[in-house]
Every structure is written in structure tokens, then in C-alpha cells.
Amino acid sequence: IHVASTPAELYNAVLVDTPLAPFFVDCISEQDLDEMNIEIIRNTLYKAYLEAFYNFCSQLGGETADVMCEILAFEADRRAIIITINSFGTELTKDDRAKLYPKCGKLYPDGLGALARADDYDQVKAVAEYYAEYRALFEGAGNNPGEKTLEDKFFEHEVKLNVMAFLH
């Protein structure tokens, strides 16, 4: 999905040339693949992947569950936050946005419900205030030269979680 740069390339790469084709053949055509639909498909697939991987790790238990579920929960929450912020000013409805949220992070279920109702960045930040880990990431995030963006802070936190996984 990441290598496709046009709807036609995506259609051929995922919906024609892979074992996924039978699942999509009656659901979507190449003409349906505008930029918004590509993002919805990409996020829907990633949601399913995150939820399945999280459940797999949970069922394994032990250190695998301890380490991986924390990393996957963070990724699920980050995606929900970024999907919310990126949806402002688009045609994506609040209900459609909520369907893209992975249901396996620390924000599930109450935080995701609050994100689904958010109308602007400040409301997303207000949701994060209830979660110490995310409150810290929003603090000091900016878009001015020299400032770390929210994406930068998410990336740094992800790196920290991965380093901690190796030290566990």
C-alpha cells in the first residue's frame, strides 16, 4: 500500500496481484479509489492488523504480551489521535472517523468516544489531558521553526517504547 502512488497502482498492487483480491473484487472498483477512499481503506486495513496483532500478543501472554501490547496500544492510540486531527476540514464524518479507530489502545473505549466527538485540535488535546502519557506528548508541541511537532513527540515516544522493549 505504501508503494502505490496512484489509485491504479493501488488497485493493481493490492486488489489484483495479491491473495487479497477475492475479498475486494465485489466491493470496490478502480474508479472508487480517490484519495479519500484510499486513506479509508489504508486505515481500515491497518486497524484490522493492529487489533489482530494486539489480540495475538495478548493470547501469548507473558513478557511478549507485556512488551508488545504496550507498543501496539500506543500505536493504536497514536493512529486514533492523528486520524482525528487529520480529519478536521475534510468530508470524513465523525461516525466514519470513529470506525477507523483501533479498539485496543489505552484510549479504548472512553477516549476513543471523546475523540470521535472532537471538533478541533484543542478538543483532541483536552482528551489527551486525561492520559498522563499523552498529556506529556501534547505539552510543548508546536509547528513553529525549532519546535517539536506532535508527530515528532509521538515518534520519540515510540522509539523510547522500543528501546524499553529490548531492556525488558
pLDDT in single tens digits along all 168 residues of the chain: 456 666 667 666 666 666 666 656 566 666 666 777 778 888 888 898 999 999 999 999 999 999 999 999 999 999 999 999 999 999 999 999 999 999 999 999 999 999 999 999 999 999 999 999 999 999 988 888 889 999 999 999 999 999 999 997
The 10 Å Cβ neighbour count of residue 43 is 21
User: Coil, strand, or helix at residue 45?
Assistant: helix
Please check whether residue 129 is in contact with residue 139, taking contact to mean a CB–CB distance below 8 angstroms.
Answer: no
Q: Among residues 74, 79, 53, which one has the least CA distance to residue 64? A: 53
As a whole number of angstroms, the distance between CA 23 and CA 113 comes to 30
Please check whether residue 54 is in contact with residue 104, taking contact to mean a CB–CB distance below 8 angstroms.
Answer: yes
What is the value of pTM for the model shown? Answer: 0.83
